[in-house]
Amino acid sequence: MEIKEAQAKVDHWIQTIGVRYFNELTNMAVLMEEVGELARIMARRYGEQSEKESDKNKDLGDEMADILFVLCCLANQTGIDLDAALEKNLAKKTERDATRHRDNPKLQA
């Protein structure tokens, strides 16, 4: 599925099941909440914190999908085509970082 299709599916879900979009500021807060949930699981599962029993069955992909869903909401609300935005962003990173990471001694193993 392309991101454009994901944005359309999210919009359809909002229009048919979600009643309406939360306002942009509310969705921004929801996005931060979802990122925090992912961060908590990552820190405990892959970091140095011990994993809580209640987090052991959390689906990492589902947590990431929650973030993508809210990001699509925000993009839809603000008129952003995430396909185009990602292409532009990758081009910027490619030009800016053409040798930066390759030449970084910290990344040489």
pLDDT per residue as tens digits for the range 27-76: 999 999 999 999 999 999 999 999 888 888 999 999 999 999 999 999 99
108 has pLDDT over 90: no
Phi-psi region of 107 (alpha: psi -120 to 50; beta: other; left: phi over 0): alpha
> What is 3-103's CATH number?
1.10.287.1080
| pLDDT given at position 2 | 94
Residue 109 has pLDDT above 80, yes or no: no
Q: Where are the beta strands (DSSP E) in the chain?
A: none
Measure the CA–CA gap between 80 and 63, rounded to whole angstroms: 23
**Averaged over 73-88, what is the pLDDT?**
98
